[in-house]
Amino acid sequence: LNDTVLQYQITEFGFGDRLLVARDITQLVRLEQTRQDFVANASHELRTPLTVIRGYLETFLDQELPKPLTRAMNQMQIQASRMESLVADLLFLSRLEASQHIPDENPIRIQEMLHSIQQDALILARSQNKTHEITLNIDTEYDLLGQPQELHSAFSNLIFNAVRYSPQKGEINIQWWVDQEGGHFAVQDNGLGIESIHLSRLTERFYRVDEGRSSSTGGTGLGLAIVKHALHRHGAKLTIESQLGKGSLFSCHFPLDMLDKVKPLESIV
């Protein structure tokens, strides 16, 4: 049949004997497609009503209202914003899942991108009353080829997590360097850290190490799933090293063909 999907597995037994097993995974593929379509459609449909609710709340909050009502409205506005971020992340993730490879590759000025995320991270830290030190260590010889919005999202999710999961006065280091294997982006923090049993499941949607720890930090539970998918589309890999109570190191490894040598200033006309 035309839309049948088969998965083949070959096992070698020595002496030239081989066993070929073909598995019909058509139903599995269809189910996965239905799930992806459902999430994409549901999040798209949720966007408009949410925008209307937010609009009304803003109009009410502009007026002189009794104190308890203002308090309730403020809470509603905070929750509506959370829902908007969640819907935006769900939509973004389903777009990433919909295709395996990036549509086009643009040169990304990595120094500028990381500097701007660093500034946003400092603002985030301040909003949580934290005085983190956030440093940048960047190899300025190479840039990266890719899809800017996806890489911005991947890098900022990792950097914002470092801010959110580090208690007061954290030290966060952002690095970009190139060696003979490719380009490497890394974020190191000396924050809460993660127990090793959780590491392999961290990039699953809505997987959280500890609900109590995450609920106050304002994430959507989709950050690392977005990072994983965005990297996969760039042929890159995520590695995570962490120690509970000591801190974490999240690294993204890009292949050599995704690098772009920065042109010296005099050669730019």
Q: Cα separation of 115 and 203, whole Å?
A: 25
Question: Which amino acid makes up residue 142?
Answer: Y
Residue nearest to ligand ADP (CB): 219
Q: Which is nearer to ligand ADP, 113 or 192 (CB)?
A: 192
Q: Cα separation of 141 and 260, whole Å?
A: 9
Q: Cα separation of 163 and 123, whole Å?
A: 10
Select from 84, 214, 235, 260 the one that contacts ligand ADP (CB under 6 A): 214
Q: Cα separation of 49 and 57, whole Å?
A: 12
Q: Cα separation of 135 and 170, whole Å?
A: 11
Q: Which is nearer to ligand ADP, 73 or 83 (CB)?
A: 83
**Min CB(65)–ligand ADP separation in Å:** 32
Query: Residues of 192-231 as b/e, b for ≥16 C-beta within 10 angstroms?
Result: bbbeeeeeeebbeeeeebeeeebeeeebbbbbbbbbbbbb
Structure tokens at 75: 């809470």
**Min CB(200)–ligand ADP separation in Å:** 12
Segment interacting with ligand ADP, rule: CB under 6 A, options 1-9, 36-44, 157-165, 175-183: 157-165
Reduced to 3 states, what is the DSSP secondary structure of residue 140? coil
Q: Are 238 and 200 in contact (CB under 8 A)?
A: no
Q: Which is nearer to ligand ADP, 143 or 189 (CB)?
A: 189
Site string for ligand ADP, 62-101 (x = CB under 6 A): ----------------------------------------
Q: For residue 102, is it left (φ>0), alpha (ψ between -120 and 50) or beta? A: beta
Q: Which is nearer to ligand ADP, 42 or 244 (CB)?
A: 244
Site string for ligand ADP, 12-41 (x = CB under 6 A): ------------------------------
Segment interacting with ligand ADP, rule: CB under 6 A, options 63-71, 107-115, 211-219, 228-236: 211-219
What CA–CA distances, in Å, run from 76 to 14, 60, 72, 84?
67, 11, 6, 12
**Min CB(219)–ligand ADP separation in Å:** 2
* 209 lies in the binding site for ligand ADP (CB under 6 A): yes
Positive or negative, the Cα torsion across 199, 200, 205, 208?
negative
**Min CB(60)–ligand ADP separation in Å:** 29
* 163 lies in the binding site for ligand ADP (CB under 6 A): no
Site string for ligand ADP, 223-242 (x = CB under 6 A): xxx-----------------
**Which residues between 174 and 203 bind ligand ADP (CB under 6 A)?**
189, 191-194, 202
By the criterion CB under 6 A, which residues form the site for ligand ADP?
157, 161-162, 165, 189, 191-194, 202, 208-209, 213-214, 219-225, 248
